[in-house]
Amino acid sequence: MTAHVLMQALGLVFDPYVLLVIFCSAIFGLFVGCIPGLTATMATALLVPITFFMPPVPAVAAIVTATAMAIFSGDIPGALLRIPGTPASAAYTDEAYAMTLKGQAEVALGAGLVFSAIGGLFGTAVMIAFSPSLAEIALKFSSFEYFWLVVLGLAGAVFIGNSSVLKACISLLLGLLIACIGLENPAGHPRFTFGLNELMSGVELIPMMVGMFAVSELLRYVTNMDPPMKIAAEKIGNIFSGMWDLLVKYKWPLVRGSALGTIIGIQPGSGADMASWMSYAMSKKFSDEPEKFGTGHVEGIVESGAANNSSLAGAWIPAIVFGIPGDSITAIAIGVLYLKNMNPGPTIFVNNPQNIYAIFIVFILANIIMVPLGWLTVKIATKILKVPRNILMPIILLFCIVGSFAINNSAWGVVLILFFGVAAFLFEENGFPVAPAILGVVLGTMMEENFVTSMIKSDGNPWVFFTRPIAMWLAIGTIIILFWPVFTWAWGKFRGKTADSPVQTPQA
């Protein structure tokens, strides 16, 4: 049975068309990641209108490959320009740049590449090992458990790693309200449509994401007043030399970073950026030579370079098992899967296991071809970095327009990218994070459906949410996360009073 499914999955992936898609999206991802101002999430948002026209497996393959490549390739401008190519590289940009100034650009980039690939494979291995058994448990879940899972996911998105919990909360609630628009609710009543036919079926996800992640980035680019960038090293040597020694020397940081990255990825709402910041901090804490950090020391790059790539695979675990995205990239990917009628969730493991296995294979493949293609990108990096962005950005804008038009063949999509682009731009200017909003939009329908179904099943008695065995544990977990800031705040007050030391007041 399994062998048969595996053969089917191999057949799905090793098809000339799918391989071509993987290759092209790899190049695309490497290019986008390498250009500062274009993020991995933006790469996904730009790919989506094209994947819209593909069967499910190549569509997912394109997203998986492009993001893995973009997260690695974000290290390149970090090392050469001191500007992270994607936010996921920001944690160790200064470190990598310091190495470049010391004449070790090839070590920084080599470590970024090799350990990104290893981290990615680690996350993939965890995904392959755990998601089928998780799916088996998930099959037993009813609407009560799903409701808590969604709440747990959303709570994580708000409370973990955000500077302002209150603003993240608001962003999430706005996302959930956007999900309420339209006819698709348990009662089938058109809500908040303002009499517009276009809003009857709700706000389309793809134009909204293109707006929030691509158009808003363009607006940020055109209003960016940073001075022009300077390339610190024109010549880069052999990036693979000395990598084996690093691997032997830093095997534990590597494992630690990969494991932490995978866990952060699984946790909904925080993705590669958070993984790399946290593991860089952890690396410094556990290192034997923490005083070297920040002066061009490779250890932190090894650990957080592995972490940000492993988080990508981690994020897919809740996405395919429960339909709950682990970060904004998988939020987009879930939107694509729904459009393809390949609804993520545990039943997919029963009904279409070959598709899931195909996703696993794509992950392995993507992390392997990352090494030669990444090497090539580093070789020509100084040329890519010189691509004039004042020509590139307008072309991306036109691409966004066509892509959003293509979803419904109407200019309404362009209205949406304009609205959400400007909204996301203003949000970020005012310190509201955008990622919780997108999770809210993706999960809103699911949350409401499970809430209403559960309430109807229990005759309006909310206690049932706490009395079913699995639901109870999920509820406890959620409540701990929800009240965590209150605990830490109270603890800080308590300690502040006793020890009389200055206390940091939490934001919420």
Using rule CB under 8 A, residue 227 touches another protein: no
Candidates 121-129, 182-190, 254-262, 484-492: pick the segment binding another protein (CB under 8 A).
182-190
Near another protein in 371-400, by CB under 8 A: 388, 390-391, 393-395, 397-399
Find the shortest distance in angstroms from Cβ 207 to another protein.
Answer: 11
Using rule CB under 8 A, residue 417 touches another protein: yes
Find the shortest distance in angstroms from Cβ 307 to another protein.
Answer: 32
E strands of 83-162, at which residues? none
Using rule CB under 8 A, residue 24 touches another protein: no
Distant-in-sequence, close-in-space partners of 366: CB < 8 Å, separation ≥ 6: 22, 26, 61, 64, 65, 68, 69, 120
Using rule CB under 8 A, residue 411 touches another protein: yes
Distance CA 64, CA 369 (A): 13
Find the shortest distance in angstroms from Cβ 143 to another protein.
Answer: 13
Provide the 10 A C-beta neighbour count for residue 19: 15
Exactly one of 426, 476, 480, 486 binds another protein (CB under 8 A); that residue is 426
* Nearer of residues 388 and 502 to another protein, judged by Cβ: 388
CB 76 within 8 A of CB 377: yes
The two structure tokens encoding residue 341: 């009628």
Distance CA 115, CA 299 (A): 11
Q: C-alpha dihedral over 459, 465, 470, 474, to 10 degrees? A: 160
Using rule CB under 8 A, residue 506 touches another protein: no
Using rule CB under 8 A, residue 401 touches another protein: yes
Find the shortest distance in angstroms from Cβ 190 to another protein.
Answer: 9
Distance CA 243, CA 114 (A): 8
Contact flags string 459-488 toward another protein, x per CB under 8 A: -x----------------------------
Using rule CB under 8 A, residue 62 touches another protein: no
Using rule CB under 8 A, residue 174 touches another protein: yes
Q: Which of 319, 285, 283, 286 is nearest to 303 (CA)?
A: 283
Find the shortest distance in angstroms from Cβ 487 to another protein.
Answer: 18
CB 70 within 8 A of CB 39: yes
Q: Which of 351, 355, 354, 276 is nearest to 312 (CA)?
A: 276
What 3-state class would DSSP assign to 182?
Answer: strand
Using rule CB under 8 A, residue 169 touches another protein: yes
* Nearer of residues 97 and 451 to another protein, judged by Cβ: 451
Candidates 268-276, 307-315, 327-335, 414-422: pick the segment binding another protein (CB under 8 A).
414-422
Find the shortest distance in angstroms from Cβ 372 to another protein.
Answer: 27
CB 150 within 8 A of CB 287: no
CB 74 within 8 A of CB 33: yes
Contact flags string 336-375 toward another protein, x per CB under 8 A: ----------------------------------------
Using rule CB under 8 A, residue 455 touches another protein: yes
Q: Which of 166, 126, 205 is nearest to 403 (CA)?
A: 205
Find the shortest distance in angstroms from Cβ 214 to another protein.
Answer: 12
Distance CA 9, CA 5 (A): 6
What 3-state class would DSSP assign to 191?
Answer: strand
Find the shortest distance in angstroms from Cβ 451 to another protein.
Answer: 6
Half-sphere exposure of 382 (CA within 13 A, CB side): 11
* Nearer of residues 24 and 101 to another protein, judged by Cβ: 24
Candidates 82-90, 98-106, 112-120, 172-180: pick the segment binding another protein (CB under 8 A).
172-180
For tokens 């920001």, what's the residue?
90
Find the shortest distance in angstroms from Cβ 85 to another protein.
Answer: 20
Report how many residues bind another protein under the rule CB under 8 A.
57
Exactly one of 187, 195, 386, 499 binds another protein (CB under 8 A); that residue is 187
The two structure tokens encoding residue 333: 């990917």
Burial class (CB in 10 A: 0-12, 13-18, 19+), 506: middle
Distant-in-sequence, close-in-space partners of 337: CB < 8 Å, separation ≥ 6: 56, 60, 343, 344
For tokens 């061009």, what's the residue?
296
Which positions touch another protein (CB under 8 A)?
A: 50, 53, 166-167, 169-170, 173-174, 176-177, 180, 185-189, 191-192, 215, 218-219, 222-225, 388, 390-391, 393-395, 397-399, 401-402, 405-406, 409, 411, 414-415, 417-418, 421-422, 426, 429-430, 432, 448, 451-452, 455-456, 460, 508
